[in-house]
Amino acid sequence: MVFRDKKGIGVGQVFVFIVAALSFALILMFGYRAISGFLKSGEDVAFVQFKTGLESDIKKIYTEFGSVRVERYSTPVTYTQVCFVDLDKPYDPELCQSDQVACSVWEVASTSGKGYDGVDENVFLTPPAPVKIKVYKISVEEEEDGKNFLCIPIKQGAFSMVMEGRGDKTLLSELPSEG
């Protein structure tokens, strides 16, 4: 007759459960990190696609005098607003209500006397973008309020605007609201 120690079997099972739990925890931890990295990479790619598309569209249309295009841009969903500033126009402190970063950059461009050539960006996202965005010279359609900047809300990661080639710059305006 063979006698088995039942206490030894219990200890062995506990050890197996501990190893299984640790393995499960490690797989969860590394899986979470991998998925987070993929999501971050996806947002980075979306931002780069937005930035290069915007820069190339504005540069392409400025020489096509009279051409008008309506463009839709997709951004990562973290952004809520985009502002375009005509840095060659006089500084307007009213922009500070919409975007503090854009306001301070425009003030620097204005006080330096260099305008567009005096700063590294003329497109501003809220929250601020990880990289500065500077498109070719732009002009903003001046309405009765006389603003020289255009701030467009970004809804569900997208916004649309109207671009018109002026030969030496691109005229930007907000898409007229429907209804």
What's the length of the chain? 179
CA atoms within 13 A on the CB side of 160: 8
Give the tens place of pLDDT for each residue, 47-90.
Answer: 888 898 888 898 888 888 888 999 999 998 889 999 998 888 88
For 44-65, letters b (16+ CB in 10 Å) and e give eebbeebbeebeebbeebbeee
Angle at CA of residue 175, ends 171 and 179, nearest 5°: 150
What pTM was estimated for this model as a whole? 0.73
Contact indicator for 151, 83 with CB cutoff of 8 Å: yes
| 118 contacts 112 by C-beta, under 8 angstroms | yes
pLDDT classification of 153: cutoffs 50, 70, 90: very high
With beta carbons less than 8 A apart as the criterion, state whether 117 and 107 touch.
no
